[in-house]
């Protein structure tokens, strides 16, 4: 079994130190972040199996982190456990309803916390470990009510992004497509083969959403991809049919190629001067006629 990877986000250095020691002793790979902003960056550029985040933090609080993860579809992919000392029962229930795996009240018992984290990871691993097809590939059916079942992964150079999108579109599949490169991560979500939402987040913090993110993602020519089938529980934010998005992308590519070719072409010879003979091909230039006669 792979070593579980956990990210702990909390502005209390004592809690961070305690949890780091606890999880490392239990065989986890541990990352820590002192505020929500740093935590979100580590989630975007790194790989984690579970997130444990405090609610009350500087710069970006736990609620804001949770909402950004939900917007990017990461709540459906990575279990998120929230913790707080002052949150009421109604707010705790709201987090659970919106997709958080659990809510821990401070102060907590470390052994109970560890047991909850292991239970969540065990359930997620069981849902991801669905049987494969006879040919050795991953099954193409989503796991009902579970985490996404991986379909395939590879390099973008081996399969173009428009082809990956058409794979979902022609099969009328639900699921997500994730692209990763050192400077950015992009995620596209499908329902019935149609793109319903897309996000691109640069490591610098620049983020795109909607159709702007789709066209940015379609232009990627390097990096890695991961595609999986699952039921997508989010409203449709992109209304344009997917085939129209692909056609518009192809048109933009053609226009760019044409502009590049025109810029590289040698300039055409200028037209002959109107009302007079063409300029001589060689020799001295014709003498200038005086404006006055004597």
CA 214, distance to chain mean position in Å, is 11
Nearest of 123, 126, 9 to residue 66 by alpha carbon = 9
pLDDT band at 9 (very low <50, low <70, confident <90, very high): very high
Q: Round to whole Å and give the CA distance between 104 and 87.
A: 10
Q: Round to whole Å and give the CA distance between 34 and 290.
A: 86
- pLDDT value, residue 270: 62
- pLDDT value, residue 256: 84
pLDDT band at 143 (very low <50, low <70, confident <90, very high): very low
The arithmetic mean of pLDDT across residues 9-31, rounded, is 91
**pLDDT greater than 70 at residue 260:** yes
For the question of whether the overall pTM of this predicted structure is more than 0.85, the answer is no
Q: Round to whole Å and give the CA distance between 240 and 211.
A: 8
The pairing of strands 207-209 and 80-84 is unpaired
**pLDDT greater than 80 at residue 74:** no
The pairing of strands 184-191 and 175-181 is antiparallel
Per-domain residue ranges for the chain? 5-126, 149-243
Q: Among 59-63, 115-119, 262-266, where is mean pLDDT lowest?
A: 262-266
- pLDDT value, residue 279: 56
For residue range 81-132, list pLDDT tens digits in order.
Answer: 999 887 677 777 777 777 888 888 888 888 889 989 998 888 877 654 443 3
Asked if 8 and 31 touch (Cβ cutoff 8 Å), the reply is yes
- pLDDT value, residue 81: 92
**pLDDT greater than 50 at residue 140:** no
Q: Round to whole Å and give the CA distance between 204 and 201.
A: 8
**pLDDT greater than 50 at residue 284:** yes
Token pair 């595609």 is found at 227
The arithmetic mean of pLDDT across residues 236-258, rounded, is 90
Q: How does the average pLDDT of the chain come out, rounded?
A: 80
**pLDDT greater than 60 at residue 138:** no
Q: Among 6-15, 87-96, 173-182, 208-217, where is mean pLDDT lowest?
A: 87-96
- pLDDT value, residue 293: 42
- pLDDT value, residue 189: 94
Asked if 31 and 42 touch (Cβ cutoff 8 Å), the reply is yes
3-state secondary structure of 51: strand
The arithmetic mean of pLDDT across residues 229-234, rounded, is 82
| Domain 5-126: CATH class, spelled out | alpha beta
Task: Mark 202-225 as b/e (b = at least 16 C-beta within 10 Å).
Answer: eeeeeebbebebbbbbbebeebeb
Higher per-residue confidence, 281 vs 74: 74
Nearest of 50, 29, 227, 72 to residue 123 by alpha carbon = 50
């Amino acid at each position: 079994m792979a070593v579980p990877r956990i990210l702990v986000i909390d502005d209390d250095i004592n809690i961070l130190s305690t949890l780091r020691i606890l999880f490392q002793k239990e065989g986890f790979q541990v990352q820590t972040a002192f505020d929500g902003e740093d935590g979100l960056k580590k989630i975007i550029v790194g790989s984690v199996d579970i997130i444990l985040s405090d609610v009350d933090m500087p710069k970006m609080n736990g609620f804001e982190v949770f909402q950004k993860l939900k917007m990017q579809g990461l709540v459906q992919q990575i279990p998120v456990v929230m913790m707080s000392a002052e949150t009421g029962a109604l707010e705790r229930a709201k987090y659970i309803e919106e997709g958080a795996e659990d809510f821990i009240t401070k102060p907590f018992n470390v052994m109970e916390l560890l047991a909850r984290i292991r239970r969540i990871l065990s359930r997620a691993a069981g849902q991801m470990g669905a049987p494969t097809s006879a040919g050795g590939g991953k099954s193409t059916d989503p796991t009902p009510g579970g985490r996404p079942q991986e379909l395939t992964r590879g390099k973008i150079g081996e399969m173009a992004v428009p082809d990956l999108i058409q794979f979902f579109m022609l099969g009328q599949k639900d699921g997500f497509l994730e692209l990763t490169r050192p400077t950015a991560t992009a995620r596209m979500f499908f329902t019935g083969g149609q793109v319903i939402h897309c996000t691109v987040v640069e490591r610098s913090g620049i983020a795109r959403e909607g159709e702007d993110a789709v066209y940015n993602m379609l232009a990627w020519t390097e990096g890695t991809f991961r595609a999986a089938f699952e039921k997508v529980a989010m409203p449709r934010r992109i209304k344009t049919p997917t085939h129209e998005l692909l056609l518009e992308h192809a048109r933009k590519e053609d226009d760019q190629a044409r502009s590049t070719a025109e810029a590289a072409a040698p300039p055409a010879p200028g037209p002959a001067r109107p009302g007079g003979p063409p300029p001589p091909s060689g020799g001295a230039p014709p003498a200038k006629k005086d404006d006055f006669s004597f």
